[in-house]
Amino acid sequence: MSWIVTGGAGYIGSHVVRALAEAGLSPVVIDDLSSGVPSFVPSGVPFVKGTILDRDLVEKTLRDHRAEGVIHVAGFKYAGVSVQRPLHTYAQNVEGTRVILEAMDAAGVANIVFSSSAAVFGTPDVPLVVESTEKRPASPYGESKLIGEWLLRDQAAATAESDRPLRHTSLRYFNVVGSADPSVYDVSPHNLFPIVFEALLAGKTPRINGDDYDTEDGTNVRDYVHVGDIAAAHVAAARRLAAGDPIEPAYNLGSGDGLSVKQIMDAVARVTGIDFTPEIGPRRPGDPDRIVATGELAARDLDWKMRYTVDEMVRTGWEARRAAGS
């Protein structure tokens, strides 16, 4: 029996693959390499190159590898870009999820862990986000992730009286950072850590977008969570599904307190030894002061915890990026 990881050649997906392998859960990767990196797939892990939109390929992979479940990480993950590319976003994230569920139903596979996102909440008006906080996505990306959660809910209801009712959970990510393997680093051109690292490697000064927010130091506050902890939560969710244990439909993988952009910049200077004073630019439209979530439900069920300090988050990410070369 195996666990199929869609998007398993990506930054987060490949960490999930490693965690599954270490736990003895036999991962298999499906990835079209649109943003994934072939070398991120560990040696010895079966790799199927193809798109999740190919129903026949997905069903064949599920059958060939006697899948026990799917961890669905693949998707178009750029919230800002999704505003310019809504049709592409919906095709990858909504149709892709529908195809996977259809293939699972045909192959008799009944367990799925879905990579959702904090983007389902949009700009919450509460200081601490919980699972039941109102969903008001502010981008096609956030909308597509919320629809993905609905698809799982509806398919579970439709199969509830069948021989193999769908069992599912959605893990809502916030800002995923760091590295748990020096051969894997964040390749996104839109995330804070790689933006700062690339600036430093190019001899440029990193930039903060606005320092007049209603926070302790004037820069906005977000949840930053280590990718190794994210991967461990996926393994815990997969085990819980496979064992038939009770599981929530969604979990927020949040820190409970958050970090400001200035705190991140200070940690980068400490860890890298590069002394710099960030440039201050204008606010980005729509950026809220603070988005922080509790991880209490995930701590109860998925052994979720923050195992890394901010300096360790920076150090592991920086070392992995430098190991990759320029």
Active centre residues (catalytic): 141
Side chain identity at residue 39, one-letter code: S
In the three-class reduction of DSSP (H, G, I as helix; E, B as strand; rest coil), residue 173 is classed as strand
CB-CB contact of 108 with 40 (8 Å): no
Of the candidates 293, 292, 261, 295, which has an alpha carbon nearest to the alpha carbon of residue 278? Answer: 261
Largest CA distance in the chain: 62
∠13-18-19 over CA atoms, to 5°?
95
CB-CB contact of 137 with 122 (8 Å): yes
Of the candidates 258, 259, 255, 238, which has an alpha carbon nearest to the alpha carbon of residue 301? Answer: 238
Dump the DSSP string for 99-116.
HHHHHHHHHT--EEEEEE
CA 173, 314, 5, 68 torsion-angle sign: negative
Distance separating alpha carbons of residues 128 and 108, to the nearest angstrom: 39
In the three-class reduction of DSSP (H, G, I as helix; E, B as strand; rest coil), residue 48 is classed as strand
